[in-house]
Amino acid sequence: MTPGERRRTWAGLAFVSPWLVGFAVFTLYPVCASIYYSFCDYDVLSPPVWVGTLNYSDMATDNVFWLSVYNTLVFNLIALPLSLVSALALALLLNQPVRFQGVFRAIYYLPSLVPAVAGAMVWLWILNGRHGILNQALMAVGISRPPLWLDDPDWAKPSLALVSLWGCGNTVVIYLAALQGVPRSLLEAAMIDGASAWRRLVHVTLPAISPVIYFNLLIGIIGGLQVFTTAIIMGGAERSTLFYAIYIYYNAFEYRHMGYASAMAWILCLLIMALTWLASRASRGFVHYQGD
């Protein structure tokens, strides 16, 4: 390396140093420290005491831990497909050349800009069992005993899945971008061959945007397993919406079992890695990249 190159390297490092320092202090160190704490009895105030794998073995017998795993997986099984399909359907509609296309796109994207807390507060009232506008509407169409939504443990997770659709605007935008990239020549060729709109969607559009569907699936899995804000604000009867990340938060900050919370966080990390790997394996036959 010449002196000039070395100087430029140092100058470059100096310019990125704020990020490097921030990353090291606020991400790298906490991540490394949490590995150590996961093997300790640590209440944040007192020095950690090494307990070996006790936190991990405690998880195996902790019923609430398993309940949080169950709640999180069930929520994702409902919310993730619903969100992927709804966002795709919306994107297909918003991709149609109609008047006020831009206005429609803005309207559907707008909820994504609403802060999560504000959105959750509004949804709390929409889903109110007695005075909520949703139940009023259901009663108006003849459903005399609509569900109590969050106050009913059987309905609480589907309620939150419904709420999660409210913020699918970001996913819609990604799909829309992908739809712009579907080769027009292929669609025209299919049309000339007499393919119906449905067959063009299934055999041309979906394969062409399959990498983006796969991307949204991965992001959905990663985000879905960490669902927190809306659920902790809106709650749910009888721990029906106690998700994994919420239980980590309670252990870390409410009950001050930081060692146990750290162990839980690492199990979550491993779970996300495993599911991501599974998704990538399962999608091999379905995802088509241009040039393949």
Nearer to other proteins, 239 or 288 (CB): 239
Q: How many residues does the chain have?
A: 292
Q: How is 184-239 classified by DSSP, letter by letter?
A: HHHHHHHHHTT--HHHHIIIIIHHHTHHHHHHHHHHHHHHHHT--HHHHHH--GGG
Which one of 86, 128, 226, 229 is in contact with other proteins (CB under 8 A)? Answer: 128
Interaction between residue 11 and other proteins (CB under 8 A) = no
Report the C-alpha gap between 250 and 242 in whole angstroms: 10
Contact 205, 179 (CB under 8 A): yes
Interaction between residue 141 and other proteins (CB under 8 A) = no
Interaction between residue 122 and other proteins (CB under 8 A) = no
Give min distance, CB of 281 to other proteins, in A. 38
Give min distance, CB of 147 to other proteins, in A. 10
Interaction between residue 129 and other proteins (CB under 8 A) = yes
Contacts with other proteins in 145-164 (CB under 8 A)? 145, 148, 151-153
Nearer to other proteins, 253 or 286 (CB): 253
Q: Bridge partners of 50?
A: 40
176 Cβ contact partners less than 8 Å away, ≥ 6 residues apart: 91, 94, 95, 105
Q: Which region among 16-24, 113-121, 179-187, 248-256 touches other proteins (by CB under 8 A)?
A: 248-256
182 Cβ contact partners less than 8 Å away, ≥ 6 residues apart: 204, 205, 208, 209
User: Strand, coil or helix: what is 179?
Assistant: helix
Interaction between residue 29 and other proteins (CB under 8 A) = no
Which one of 255, 269, 278, 286 is in contact with other proteins (CB under 8 A)? Answer: 255
What Cα–Cα distance (Å) separates residue 20 from each residue in 9, 10, 13, 24, 31?
A: 14, 13, 9, 6, 15
Give min distance, CB of 234 to other proteins, in A. 13
Characterize the bridge pairing of strands 49-50 and 40-41: antiparallel
Give min distance, CB of 239 to other proteins, in A. 6
Nearer to other proteins, 2 or 63 (CB): 63
Backbone phi, psi, residue 279, to 5°: -65, -40
Size of the site for other proteins (CB under 8 A): 26
Interaction between residue 193 and other proteins (CB under 8 A) = no
SS3 letters for 1-53?
CCHHHHHHHHHHHHHHHHHHHHHHHHHHHHHHHHHHHCCEECCCCCCCEECCC
Nearer to other proteins, 148 or 204 (CB): 148
Interaction between residue 56 and other proteins (CB under 8 A) = no
Which one of 239, 271, 275, 283 is in contact with other proteins (CB under 8 A)? Answer: 239
Q: Which region among 93-101, 166-174, 237-245, 276-284 touches other proteins (by CB under 8 A)?
A: 237-245
Nearer to other proteins, 144 or 185 (CB): 144
* Nearest by Cα to 238 from 62, 71, 69: 71
Which one of 5, 193, 254, 292 is in contact with other proteins (CB under 8 A)? Answer: 254
Enumerate binding residues for other proteins (CB under 8 A). 41, 43-46, 49, 58, 63-64, 128-131, 145, 148, 151-153, 237-239, 250, 253-256
